Amino acid sequence: MAIAKVGSTDQVNIVIQFDRYPGNSAYGGWPITHRFFLTRGMEPTEANAITEWGDGQGGGREVDMSDPDVLRDFIKWAVRNYPAKRYALIVADHGFGWKGLAIDNTNYQRTMSLKQLRQAIEESHVHFDLLSLDACLMQMVEVAHELWYAGIHILVGSEAGGRTWPYAEILQSIMQKPGMSAEEIGETIVDRYISSHPEYTDITLSVVKLRRVKALTAAVKELSLAILNDFPLQVVKDRATAVMEGINHAVLYKKNALDWESAGGISVYFPEVYPMAALPPELQFFYKSQIVSFAGDALWHDLLASSYDSSSKPSLYARMLVEIRNNMKTFDPDKVDLYDLCNCIVNYPAP
């Protein structure tokens, strides 16, 4: 952004909270957290940082970027000092899907959970037209389900591992058309991101309308109920089709590189299945509604657990899920494309 001389205008404010860790020598080597009001050509040096955060503690200091209170306070400060008619938030760091994002390496490598991200946004009392998660593996149905509670309109993220976002190009596009809708900004981010990495074949990015995720979760719950209660196979297939339709309705725009041409734009947790084996520790102890709401709201935890059949003769659906999951291509060892999963169920042969 500094090299491209992108900065705020009289119609667009760009406000940044930027944390670094010791050992980085660029721009003076400062190792703490600073806030910047980005102007054209500004470099992220301490001399250009904002010296007063309005909380009685001065300006730049070390903070835990995984702490939801830190994110909430930054949002409230930015809105108070740089008010606008519409707001967008980008959270950029490492991501782990339903397990959270934003590691702070100078604070015991703590990570912000989905519920904490939701908490920070809700407690800021700011409506975001757009939230972009510049972090790996975050475009999961679990993430979208958690965040629709926070009243966000549009969510942008990747099902796959991520690459550097071309912020200068993205912001230049917004500056040229500051009145563009959140949907248009989302599409711009996707287009600029994919076109900036022609050498990578394993990247994805999609735009999700969060108010439509509630219906998608309901469709997934109906599929879970059909499988858990041994409904006829055709009923299960019909409900898988309904989930696919829900994905098409919720995912407004997507682009995938060659390796993921058929990806539907939103993934789901599904670890590899070993029938008659103990539940994976993550599924048993962490993938539950206290940590990720979707696990309970869509009965997805129970559906996955049913695949680990302890009997000598696993049910049709346990066998189906084992065969489908263990033959699927995965974004990560425990993340698969939800559309692809349901498509495999629809095409599963009758016994």
| 83 and 203 both lie in a single domain | yes
149-186 pLDDT, tens digit each: 999 999 999 999 999 999 999 999 999 999 999 999 99
Closest of 349, 337, 197 to residue 268, by C-alpha:
337
How sure is the predictor about 5, in pLDDT bands with cuts at 50, 70 and 90? very high
Instruction: Tell whether 188 and 132 lie within a shared domain.
Output: yes
Residue 153 sits in the same domain as residue 226: no
SS3 235: helix
Q: Do 53 and 201 reside in the same domain of the chain?
A: yes
140 in the same domain as 96: yes
The share of the chain scoring above pLDDT 70, in percent, equals 98
Mean pLDDT, the chain, rounded, equals 95
Sign of CA dihedral 179, 249, 293, 93: negative
pLDDT band for position 274 (cuts 50, 70, 90): confident
Residue 108: its pLDDT value, please? 84
Let me know how long the chain is: 351
Q: What are phi and psi of 224, to 5 degrees?
A: -60, -45
Check whether residue 203 and residue 305 sit in a common domain. no
Answer yes or no: is 6 within a domain. no
pLDDT of 2 above 60: yes
The answer as to whether 40 is a domain residue is: yes
In the chain, the number of structural domains is 2
Instruction: Give percent of the chain above pLDDT 90.
Output: 89
In which domain, by residue range, is 92 found? 15-210
pTM beyond 0.75: the answer is yes
Which tens digit of pLDDT belongs to each residue from 216-269?
999 999 999 999 999 999 999 999 999 999 999 999 999 999 999 999 999 999
Let me know: does 148 contact 175? Beta carbons within 8 Å: no
Q: Please, which pLDDT band fits residue 94 given cuts at 50, 70 and 90?
A: very high
Same domain (yes/no): 202, 333: no
Is the pLDDT higher at 312 or at 48? 48
Residue 10 forms part of a structural domain = no
Distance of CA 75 to CAs 15, 56, 81, 95, 128, Å?
10, 17, 10, 20, 10
Q: Is residue 81 part of a domain?
A: yes
Of 181, 210, 239, at which residue does a domain stop? 210
25 and 151 housed in the same domain: yes
Pair 324, 229 in one domain: yes
Same domain, 334 and 303: yes
